[in-house]
Structure 1
Amino acid sequence: MAKTKVDQVNAAAATTTPAVFISTSALNSLITHKSLIGHLQSTLPSHSAIINSPLRHTHQTSPTSSLLLMPSWSNSPSLPYMGVKLVTYFPNNTSVNLPGVHAIYVLFSSLTGLPLVSMDATGLTLFRTACVSALASYYLSRDSAETLVMIGAGSLAQHLIRAHLIIRPSLKRVVVWNRTLEKARILVDELTKEGDRFQGVCFESNVCLEEAVKLGDVISCATNSEAPLVKGLDLKAGAHLDLVGSFTRSMRECDDEALRRGRIYIDNEAAVMEAGELVFALERGVIKKDEIVGDLVELIRGEKYGRKDSNEITVFKSVGSAVVDLLSAQLVYESCMNDQD
Structure 2
Amino acid sequence: MLLLSEAETRKALPFSRLVDALDAMFKTGCEMPVRHHHDMAVPGEPDATMLLMPAWVPGEFAGVKIVNVMPGNSERGLPAISAEYLLSDGKTGQMLAMIDGGELTARRTAAASALAARYLARRDANHLVVVGTGRLSLNLIGAHAAVRPITKVSVWGRNLEKAQAVAEEAHELYDVAAEGVGDLETAVRAADIVSAATLSSDPLIRGEWLMPGTHVDLVGAFKPSMRESDDEAIRRSSVFVDTRDGCTKEGGDITQPLASGVLHAEAIKADLYELSRGAYSGRASDEEITLFKSVGAALEDLAGAILAYRTAQD
1:113-262 alignment runs, 5 A limit:
113-169=93-149, 171-194=150-173, 197-198=174-175, 201-262=176-237
Task: Name the CA shift for 1:101/1:223 in 2 (closer, same or farther; >3 Å).
Answer: farther
Question: Which residue number in structure 2 is paired with residue 301 of structure 1?
Answer: 277
Q: Choose 301-310 or 37-46, whichever is displaced more.
A: 37-46
> Which of 23, 47, 52 in structure 2 is aligned with 1:41?
23
Q: Which amino acid counterpart does residue 37 of structure 2 have in structure 1?
A: T
Q: List per-residue Cα deviations over 1:98-117 (Å, max 9, x = no partner).
A: 65543111112222222211
> Which of 32, 38, 57 in structure 2 is aligned with 1:53?
32
Quote the sequence identity (%): 39
What SS does structure 2 have at the residue aligned with 1:108?
Answer: strand
Task: Name the CA shift for 1:327/1:304 in 2 (closer, same or farther; >3 Å).
Answer: same
Question: Which residue number in structure 2 is paired with residue 85 of structure 1?
Answer: 65
Q: CA deviation at 1:41?
A: 2.3
Q: Which amino acid counterpart does residue 135 of structure 1 have in structure 2?
A: L
Question: Which residue number in structure 2 is paired with residue 70 of structure 1?
Answer: 53
Does structure 1 retain, via aligned residues, the 8 Å contact 2:165–2:180?
no
Q: List per-residue Cα deviations over 1:198-228 (Å, max 9, x = no partner).
A: 2xx3101111122222121100001111111
Q: Which amino acid counterpart does residue 224 of structure 2 have in structure 1?
A: R
Distance 1:260 1:74 in 2: 38
Task: State the TM-score, normalizing by the size of structure 2.
Answer: 0.92
What SS does structure 2 have at the residue aligned with 1:52?
Answer: coil
What SS does structure 2 have at the residue aligned with 1:224?
Answer: coil
Q: List per-residue Cα deviations over 1:60-97 (Å, max 9, x = no partner).
A: 66879644221112224xxx111111224468978987
Q: Which amino acid counterpart does residue 158 of structure 2 have in structure 1?
A: R
Unaligned runs of 5+ in 2: none
Task: Name the CA shift for 1:33/1:221 in 2 (closer, same or farther; >3 Å).
Answer: same
Q: CA deviation at 1:305?
A: 2.1
Distance 2:308 2:182 in 1: 38
What SS does structure 1 have at the residue aligned with 2:178?
Answer: strand
Task: Name the CA shift for 1:94/1:307 in 2 (closer, same or farther; >3 Å).
Answer: farther
Distance 1:240 1:90 in 2: 35
Distance 2:251 2:200 in 1: 12
Unaligned runs of 5+ in 1: 1-18
Q: Which amino acid counterpart does residue 181 of structure 1 have in structure 2?
A: L
Distance 1:92 1:137 in 2: 37
Q: Which amino acid counterpart does residue 163 of structure 2 have in structure 1?
A: A
Q: Choose 87-96 or 273-282, whichever is displaced more.
A: 87-96
What SS does structure 2 have at the residue aligned with 1:242?
Answer: strand
Q: Which amino acid counterpart does residue 210 of structure 2 have in structure 1?
A: L
Q: CA deviation at 1:253?
A: 0.8
How many residues matched? 309
Task: Name the CA shift for 1:327/1:56 in 2 (closer, same or farther; >3 Å).
Answer: same
Q: Which amino acid counterpart does residue 267 of structure 2 have in structure 1?
A: E
What is the RMSD of the two structures over their aligned residues, measured on CA atoms?
2.1
Distance 1:96 1:138 in 2: 42
1:281-320 alignment runs, 5 A limit:
281-320=257-296
Q: CA deviation at 1:247?
A: 1.7
Q: Which amino acid counterpart does residue 143 of structure 1 have in structure 2?
A: R
Q: CA deviation at 1:289?
A: 0.2
